[in-house]
Structure 1
Amino acid sequence: MKLTILGSGSPEAYARRASTGYLLEIGNDRILFDCGGGVFDNLVRSGRLPSDITHLFFSHLHTDHMMDYARLVHAAWDEGAPPLKVWGPSPIARITEDYFGRDGVLSADLYARTELKPSQEVWLARGGTLPRPWPAPEVFEIKPGFSFEGNGWRLNSCEVPHAQPAFDCMAFSVESGGKKFVYSGDAAICDDLEHLSADADLLLHWCYRLSGEAVHPALSEKCPTPQDIAKMAARAGARRLLISHFRIHMDSEEGHESARKDLRAYFAGPAEIVEDLNVYRI
């Protein structure tokens, strides 16, 4: 398995980090976890095309995890790719219809591209045929506990505390070739995630605050520190730990050293803060 960090940031506008998105490649499958703002551009910068994505899984539907969804679908469609397969919690089906349906927010654009003669001629010159259908992602609404069998890989999931009851929030594990990758989504420390992370070869966990920050109890309850994450990873027996989802104020040398100090103190294996476009072999 190969993991590429396409977005390691937060909802904040930030040149250094796109919002959340992670690409996992297994054989011919290119599996995207979340698709926040800036992820599309980093996908292209990484040398891939939108049409390369074969599976898209949403951990939850905060905008920093799905703002580039419509862009990805539209661009892959414009390349002539088959419909993208998408899995995510409710209301991802309604969101998709609201983008690409006949009365959706992109309907004027899609009408112009499929019905106007100049656009049709451009499409034909690129090897397309008429009539040109509208984008139609294959959307599957899922609940925590969902599992999926891919081509040589298996995905499992669990619920994680984050933004309930607005929507379901999930973490995912992927196992292939005797190796295990776990993506926390945005998650408070919880027994289900610790169980899902058991013996992971690589655990990728969000980190939205540093140790010692003065925050409201509602935030501290849902947003673990590097120390909290490192302790959980150690209990789970994870072999390698990556932390991501860094906010601007955390991204100083002092902030990084604080996080690295906690990781070293409470987790014995390799551990680091990721950056956009980092690549890891699992």
Structure 2
Amino acid sequence: MKLTVLGSGSPEAYIRRASSGYLLEVGEDKILFDCGGGVFDNLVRSGRLPSDITHLFFSHLHTDHMMDYARLVHAAWDEGAKPLLVWGPKPIARQSELLFGREGVLSPDLIARTELAPSQQVWVARGGTLPRAWPSPQVTEISPGFAFEGNGWMLKSCEVPHAQPAFDCMAFSVESGDKKFVYSGDAGICDPLRKLARDADFLLHWCYCLTGEEVHPAIKQNSPNPAEIAQMAESSGVKRLLISHFRIHMDTEEGHERTRNDLEANFNGPASVAEDLEVYEI
């Protein structure tokens, strides 16, 4: 398995980091976990095309995890790709219909691209055929505990505390051969996540605040700091830890030094802060 970080930031507008998005390659499959703002551009910067993505899984439906969804689907459709396979919690099916349906927000664009003669001829010149179908991602709504068997890999999920009851929030694991990758999504530390992360070769975990940072109790409850994440990873037998979702105020020399110290003090394996476009072999 190979992981490419396409977005390691937060909802904040920030030139250094796109919002959440992580590409996991397993054999011929290219599995995207979340698709926040800026992820599309980093996908292209990484040397891939939108049509390369074979599977998209949403951990939850905060916009910083899905803002580039429409752009990805539209661009892959414009390349003539097969409909994208999409999984996510409710109401991802309704959101998809509101984007790409006949009464959706993109319908004026799609009518123009499929029905106007100049656009039709551009499409034909690029190898397309008429009539041109609209983009139609194949969407499956899922709940925590969902599992999926891919071509040489198995995905599992669990519920994690974050934005309930507004929508379900999930963490995912992918196992292939003797390797195991776990993505926390946005998650408070909990027993289901500990179980999912047990003996993982690679844990990618969000981090929304620094150790010792003053935050509101409602945020602190489900927003573990680097020390707490490292302790959980160590107790779960994780071999490598990558923390992500860094906010602007954390992304300073002092913030990184504090984070490195916390990781080294509480986790015995390799551990670091994610950066956009980094690549990891698992």
Whether TM exceeds 0.5 here: the answer is yes
- Following TM superposition, the consecutive aligned residue runs of length 4 or more in structure 1 with deviations greater than 3 angstroms are none
In the other structure, the counterpart of 1:223 is 223
In the other structure, the counterpart of 1:248 is 248
* Aligned residue identity for 1:168: D
Q: 1:167-213: CA deviations, max 9, x gaps?
A: 00000000001100000000001000000000000000000000111
Q: Distance in 1 between matches of 2:27 and 2:211?
A: 39
Deviation at 1:163, TM superposition (A): 0.1
| SS in structure 2 of the partner of residue 175 of structure 1 | strand
In the other structure, the counterpart of 1:71 is 71
Q: Distance in 1 between matches of 2:32 and 2:47?
A: 15
| SS in structure 1 of the partner of residue 6 of structure 2 | strand
Structure 1 regions of 5+ residues with no counterpart?
none
Q: Distance in 2 between matches of 1:26 and 1:268?
A: 27
In the other structure, the counterpart of 1:162 is 162
* Aligned residue identity for 2:265: A
| SS in structure 1 of the partner of residue 75 of structure 2 | helix
In the other structure, the counterpart of 1:60 is 60
Give the TM-score of the pair, scaled to structure 2: 1.00
Q: How do 1:166-245 residues align onto structure 2 when only pairs under 5 Å count? A: 166-245=166-245
* Aligned residue identity for 1:263: L
In the other structure, the counterpart of 1:141 is 141
| SS in structure 2 of the partner of residue 200 of structure 1 | coil
* Aligned residue identity for 2:127: G
Q: 1:24-44: CA deviations, max 9, x gaps?
A: 001100000000000000000
* % identical equivalent positions: 77
Q: Distance in 1 between matches of 2:238 and 2:87?
A: 26
* Aligned residue identity for 1:127: G
| SS in structure 2 of the partner of residue 222 of structure 1 | coil
| SS in structure 1 of the partner of residue 221 of structure 2 | helix
Q: Distance in 1 between matches of 2:86 and 2:155?
A: 14
Structure 2 regions of 5+ residues with no counterpart?
none
Deviation at 1:153, TM superposition (A): 0.2
Q: Distance in 2 between matches of 1:44 and 1:215?
A: 36
Q: 1:67-88: CA deviations, max 9, x gaps?
A: 0000000000000000000000
Q: Distance in 2 between matches of 1:73 and 1:96?
A: 10
Q: How many residues align?
A: 282
In the other structure, the counterpart of 2:10 is 10
Q: Does 1:34 align with 2:34?
A: yes
CA RMSD in angstroms comes to: 0.3
Q: Distance in 1 between matches of 2:251 and 2:259?
A: 10
In the other structure, the counterpart of 1:48 is 48
Q: 1:14-60: CA deviations, max 9, x gaps?
A: 00000000000011000000000000000000000000000000000
Q: 1:86-121: CA deviations, max 9, x gaps?
A: 000000000000000000000000000000000000
* Aligned residue identity for 1:24: L
